[in-house]
Amino acid sequence: MNNRQWFTVTKINSTLFVISELHHWEKPNMYLIIGEKRAMLIDTGLGVCNLYDKIKEITNLPIIVVITHAHWDHIGSISSFTDIAIHSLDQPSLEVFPLPKSVVINNLIHGNNIFPDSFKLENYQICSKKPTVILNDSDLIDLGNRTLQVIHTPGHSPGHICLYEEKTGYLFTGDLVYEGKLDMFYPTTNPIDFYNSIKKIESLRVSYLFPGHFRFPLEFTLIKEISSAFAEISRIDPGLKKAGVFNFSKFSIHI
C-alpha cells in the first residue's frame, strides 16, 4: 500500500470532507470544514502518513487545527500544522504527552492493521506541541461566513470538546459519541462527567453526528440511546463506580 491509499477521503458536500484511516483498527475520522476565509481541521489522526499533504490536495486556505482531546490517536500529525487550538484542560497533555512511547506503540500495532509500505515503526514519534489558541466552553470559531461553537464535554478526557455548527445542525463529537466502546475506565476519565456531557449535548438541535471513529454520519437518536443507557446503569450504580463493560445494541460503555 502506498501513502495515498492510507487515507480515505469522503466528500459530504463542497465544504465538508472526512479523512479516515480505515486500514487501522481504530478507524479514526478527521473532518475538514471549509469556510470563506479559512478551514478547520478537527483532529489529526494517528500520524502514520503525511496528513498535511492530503489536506492541501483539498484546500489552499489557511488551516486551524482543533483538537477534540489530546489522546495519541487524535494528535498524531499535529507537528505538521502551525495554528493549533485545544481546550485549556487538555493543553498540558498536548505539550507533554503523559504516556510512554512503548504504550502508544502497543496501541498502534494492536489489532488487524495494514500499514503503508513507507511506514517504519522505529521512526514513529509521539507528537507534542504548544497550542496557539486556548479554547473554553462556548467559544466561537469563525471560518468566514461559517461559525462553530466549542462545547466542553469532559468525561473521556478533562478537556474533551465537541464542535457544533448551529446553522447546519452538525455536531462533531470526538470520542464522546460513536458506535463502539465508549471508554471512561482509566485515570484521566470520569464516568459522571461523561454522562453529564451526554445530557448536555442531548439538548442541542442536531441533524447529524460526525464521530471521531468508525461509521459516519450518525443519527441524533444515538445520543438519546447513550443517555438512556447511562440512566439504566445509574439505577443500579448511582455513582457509576462499578467497573465493567456494559453492552448495548450499537455501543458499549466501559467504566
As a whole number, the mean pLDDT across the chain is 96
Tally of domains in the chain: 1
The domain of 36 spans 3-178+200-220
H-helix or E-strand spanning residue 101:
helix 101-109
Which of 96-100, 125-129, 183-187, 225-229 is modeled with the greatest confidence?
225-229
Q: In the predicted model, what is the mean pLDDT of residues 14-37?
A: 98
Q: In the predicted model, what is the mean pLDDT of residues 16-36?
A: 98
Is residue 233, in this structure, part of any structural domain at all? no
Residues 111/180, Cβ–Cβ less than 8 Å: no
Is residue 187, in this structure, part of any structural domain at all? no
Pull the grid cell for residue 94: 498536548
Model confidence at 234: pLDDT above 90: yes
Q: In the predicted model, what is the mean pLDDT of residues 155-176?
A: 98
Is residue 239, in this structure, part of any structural domain at all? no
Model confidence at 127: pLDDT above 90: no
The pLDDT value given to residue 25: 96
Model confidence at 3: pLDDT above 80: no
pLDDT class of 207 with cuts at 50, 70, 90: very high
* C-beta neighbour count of 10 within 10 angstroms: 12
The pLDDT value given to residue 1: 80
Is residue 242, in this structure, part of any structural domain at all? no
Is residue 194, in this structure, part of any structural domain at all? no
Is residue 126, in this structure, part of any structural domain at all? yes
Which amino acid, one-letter code, is at 242? K
Is residue 188, in this structure, part of any structural domain at all? no
pTM of the model: 0.97
Helices (H) and strands (E) in the chain, counts: 6, 15
Dist CA 216 CA 160 (whole Å): 20
Pull the grid cell for residue 60: 489552499
Q: What is the CATH number of the domain that holds 56?
A: 3.60.15.10
Helix intervals (H) in 44-95: 51-56, 91-95
Is residue 250, in this structure, part of any structural domain at all? no
Overall residue count recorded for the chain in this entry: 255
Pull the grid cell for residue 47: 500520524
